[in-house]
Amino acid sequence: MSKPEKIVFIGLETYSLMGGLQQFNRRFIKALANRAAKNNGTRPQIVLRRDQTSDMPTDVDADFRPCGTSVLRMFHEAMVAARGADILVAGHVNLLSVLTACSVIAPRAPRILVVHGDEVWGDPVYRARKPFDAPMMRRLDRVVSVSQFTANRMAKTFGLSPEMFSIFRNAVDEIPSPDQTQPKQPNILCVTRLAEHDHGKNVDKLLRAFAVLKTQNLEATLTIVGDGVLRHGLEKLSLELGISEHVRFTGRVSDKSLAAAYSSASVFCLPSEKEGFGIVYLEAWLRGLPVICGDRDAAQEIVSGGVDGYIVDPSNIEEFASQLGKLLAQTETAREMGARGRSKVEAQYLMPHFENQLKSILDSVKA
């Protein structure tokens, strides 16, 4: 009789913050716990840096090892957890050294690295290459990427074989279908971080495209949800463009307020060039909204141009504004695009699909 499967997941802060990486990690850990319960496996060992014991969930059947800010404690907890491990998983490239150390304790366990986006693009603005990145990466058994775009850029940057990669799409939780029978006011919604390194979200270009629409006397408002050091400059730009009375910066909001913002919107727009996946587009589709994304990152793999949204060159402000104007003016077309987006989410991007992807990848590395 084979021994119960033991999986170790090593991650950065997961329950103390909220963001795309944290949402993915929470879903991944829950899927590991579900897999263990289904297969009578050992509870997954979850080692988390910068999380505290008080942050840990009570509704996930896993053995949590929060390590706070101590690097030494993280190495210690990870290596203790790795004893007898069947699979080792690191949830971020910055944890490669911890994963490598664990492989000494569990030399036969396949090593998996999960990557998300700009952290492995080799761009010094987001994360510069480090001397030992490539050698440690070449010892991995699998790199799990949330998009083909990120897999291609990482393979080129670090000289890795494309065969090392598996694509693992993100997911969202299903919510009730929105009521599309009530007409909405033309309101564009953008949900994004506005941190120091988020110039590539191109919110400034969205403001400029919106300003073009206002010169055409198109009645609409723009709501920007999110906060960070870029906010002040963007607010100043909206004043300079003469659109500030039609633009609302909300800052960070509660889940309830975010749901209300989606409910009142008629179009979702994030013309980013730095999305490793773009989970916000899925969240918008769940609410029946058509979306606009940029043409320079992984969002192109998710959005079907002309079907459930538009893909734009964010630097071409006139064309960007034209596509945005179409969605605002052609309300029935916009509604149909949003409905097709929701159907896509239901078919490809919910928790059952996430768990099936995980099963396929873990089973293949053990084979």
Q: Are 247 and 216 in contact (CB under 8 A)?
A: no
Q: How far is 244 from 236, CA to CA, in rounded Å? A: 9
Q: Are 187 and 264 in contact (CB under 8 A)?
A: yes
Full-model pTM? 0.95
Q: Are 201 and 313 in contact (CB under 8 A)?
A: no
Within a 10 A sphere around the Cβ of 204, how many other Cβ atoms?
17
pLDDT lower than 50: segments of the chain: 1
Within a 10 A sphere around the Cβ of 41, how many other Cβ atoms?
17
pLDDT of res. 125: 87
- 286: nearest Cα among 352, 349, 223, 224: 349
CA 64, chain centre distance (Å): 23
Angle at 8 between CA 83 and CA 275, to 5 degrees: 150
pLDDT digits (tens, 9 = 90+) for 250-298: 999 999 999 999 999 999 999 999 999 999 999 999 999 999 999 999 9
Beta bridge partners of 312: 294
Domains in the chain with CATH codes? 7-171+350-366 (3.40.50.2000), 187-348 (3.40.50.2000)
CA distances (Å), origin 184, targets 106, 221, 264, 340: 57, 12, 7, 18
CA distances (Å), origin 11, targets 25, 47, 240: 8, 6, 43
Beta bridge partners of 292: 269, 310
294 phi, psi to nearest 5 deg: -85, 165
State the virtual CA torsion across 35, 37, 42, 43 in degrees, nearest 10: 90
26 phi, psi to nearest 5 deg: -60, -45
Angle at 363 between CA 360 and CA 365, to 5 degrees: 105
Residue type at position 357:
Q
